[in-house]
């Protein structure tokens, strides 16, 4: 049985946040009541603050992306649970600028409700609020799924591009329009060969036999609709790209690709996956404009990965992508 190294009687959130704030005290600050984090370095040209958040267990999302060119504040919930609306409200008030606040929200019911309540409270205070909903997971793209596509790996790319636009002085309406356009042109899907370890029981939340994969697994460990035999990486990546590109439809630009580890996938594996994805996109007539490889949206210790493809069909989007950013978990890409 795997062992999670967390303090007794703790899901890890409080000590983890304190440790994160200690490790990055030149870049972020932690508020204890209610719990939220804010960036210390913000562009003077920014007119609208960017606020995100969600359940913990996905580190470095979201707190790792606090900083210039990215987020202003983050409200972290308990493990795999939405932050309370008071957290979102106080975090937003702490960083609000004259042009208001933009909430970047992953498509989960609890996140939408609590960010929505916080937004109403902020508007009552006279603060303008907009929202961008990230909904990229094609595994839940079905008429039978009432909530629609879940928000997953694309969140990192959307936060980066919106952060760059905010640092250029974009107003709230411009940021909402950009975020909505990005959300329509990005899709993801995830697979796993081993489930995550529950912080409550210390046990795997589901079991797979040797040679099996969960195809379309969720970032909270949700089982997929399909359990499939794993044969080879080439065929697996081809199937994932088929589903992603099938959902996107006609491709209009070069591709921005995120190969994201879900917790315990090694760099050796992730770079091999990128190589396969780049080659297969080229065979389909789609150029790889840039890539990001690493564990950026984890699911605790799940062994698996996700592929995210953003159709960068607008020339200005590449300028935004290449704009400098600085945050604890942000790193240079092959731009």
For residue 75, list its beta bridge partners.
53
Mean pLDDT of the region 67-93: 97
- Are residues 296 and 156 in contact, defined by beta-carbon separation less than 8 angstroms? yes
Check if 220 is active-site.
yes
pLDDT (mean) for 295-310: 98
**pLDDT, tens digit, for every residue of 6-19?**
876 666 688 999 99
pTM over 0.85: yes
Which of 58, 62, 135, 303 is catalytic? The answer is 58
Asked about 58 being catalytic, the answer comes back as: yes
Taking only the tens place, the pLDDT of each residue in 107-132 is: 999 999 999 999 999 999 999 999 99
Predicted pLDDT of residue 142: 81
User: Catalytic pick from 24, 84, 103, 220?
Assistant: 220
Residue 145 has pLDDT above 70, yes or no: no
pLDDT by residue (tens digit) across 208-226?
A: 998 999 999 999 999 988 8
Average pLDDT of 77-96?
A: 97
Average pLDDT over residues 63-81: 97
Alpha-carbon distance of 135 to 200, in angstroms, equals: 28
Q: Return the higher-pLDDT residue of 1 and 317.
A: 317
Q: What is the pLDDT of residue 192?
A: 97
How confident is residue 294, by pLDDT bands cut at 50, 70 and 90? very high
263-289 per-position pLDDT tens digit: 999 999 999 999 999 999 999 999 999
Residue 335 has pLDDT above 60, yes or no: no
* pLDDT of 333 above 60: no
pLDDT at 11: 64
- Is pLDDT larger for residue 8 or for residue 249? 249
Per-residue pLDDT, 56: 96
pLDDT at 13: 86
SS3 per residue for the chain: CCCCCCCCCCCCHHHHHHHHHHHCCCCEEEEECCEEEEECCCCCCCCCEEEEEEEECCCCCCHHHECCCCECEEEEEEECCCCCHHHHHHHHHHHCECCEEEEEEECCHHHHHHHHHHHHHHHHCCCCEEEEEECCEHHHCCCCCCCCCCCCCHHHHHHHHHHHHHHCCCCHHHHHHHHHHHHHCEEEEEEEEECCECCCCCCECCCCCCCEEEECCCCCCCCCCEEEECCCHHHHHHHHHHHHHHHHCCCCCEEEEEEEECECCCHHHHHHHHHHHHHHHHHCCCCEEEEEEECCCCCCCEEEEEEEEEEECCHHHHHHHHCCCCCCCCCCCCC
Q: Considering the chain, what percentage of its residues have pLDDT values greater than 90? A: 89
Kindly state the average pLDDT of the residues 155-162: 98
**What sign does the CA torsion over 163, 332, 180, 133 have?**
negative
> CA–CA separation, 42 vs 325, rounded Å?
10
Percent of the chain clearing pLDDT 70 (strictly above): 96
In order of their start, the domains of the chain are 13-184 (3.40.50.10440), 186-322 (3.30.1180.20)
């Amino acid at each position: 049985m795997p062992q999670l190294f967390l303090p007794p009687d703790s899901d890890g959130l409080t000590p983890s946040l304190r440790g994160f704030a200690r490790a990055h005290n030149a870049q972020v600050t932690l508020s204890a009541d209610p719990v939220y984090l804010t960036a210390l370095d913000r562009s003077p040209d920014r007119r609208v603050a960017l606020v995100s958040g969600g359940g913990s267990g996905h580190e470095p999302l979201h707190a790792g992306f606090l900083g210039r060119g990215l987020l202003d504040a983050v409200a972290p919930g308990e493990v795999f649970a939405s932050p309370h609306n008071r957290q979102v409200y106080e975090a937003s008030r702490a960083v609000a600028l004259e042009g208001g606040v933009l909430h970047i929200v992953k498509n989960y019911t609890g996140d939408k409700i609590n960010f929505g309540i916080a937004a109403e409270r902020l508007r009552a205070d006279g603060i303008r609020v907009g929202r961008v909903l990230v909904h990229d997971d094609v595994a839940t793209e079905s008429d039978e799924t009432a909530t629609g596509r879940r928000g997953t790996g694309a969140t990192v790319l959307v936060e980066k591009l919106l952060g760059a636009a905010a640092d250029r002085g974009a107003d709230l309406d411009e940021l909402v329009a950009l975020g909505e356009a990005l959300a329509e042109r990005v899709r993801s899907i995830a697979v796993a060969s081993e489930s995550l370890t529950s912080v409550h029981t210390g046990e795997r939340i589901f079991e797979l036999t040797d040679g099996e994969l969960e195809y379309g697994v969720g970032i909270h460990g949700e089982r997929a609709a399909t359990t499939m035999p794993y044969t080879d990486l080439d065929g697996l990546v081809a199937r994932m790209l088929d589903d992603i590109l099938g959902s996107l439809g006609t491709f209009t630009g070069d591709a921005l690709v995120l190969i994201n580890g879900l917790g315990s996938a090694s760099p050796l594996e992730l770079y091999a996956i990128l190589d396969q994805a780049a080659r297969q996109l080229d065979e389909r007539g789609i150029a790889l404009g840039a890539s990001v490889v690493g564990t950026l949206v984890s699911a605790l210790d799940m062994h698996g990965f996700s592929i995210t493809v953003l159709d960068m069909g607008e020339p200005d989007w590449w300028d935004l992508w290449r704009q400098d950013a600085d945050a604890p978990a942000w790193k240079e890409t092959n731009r």
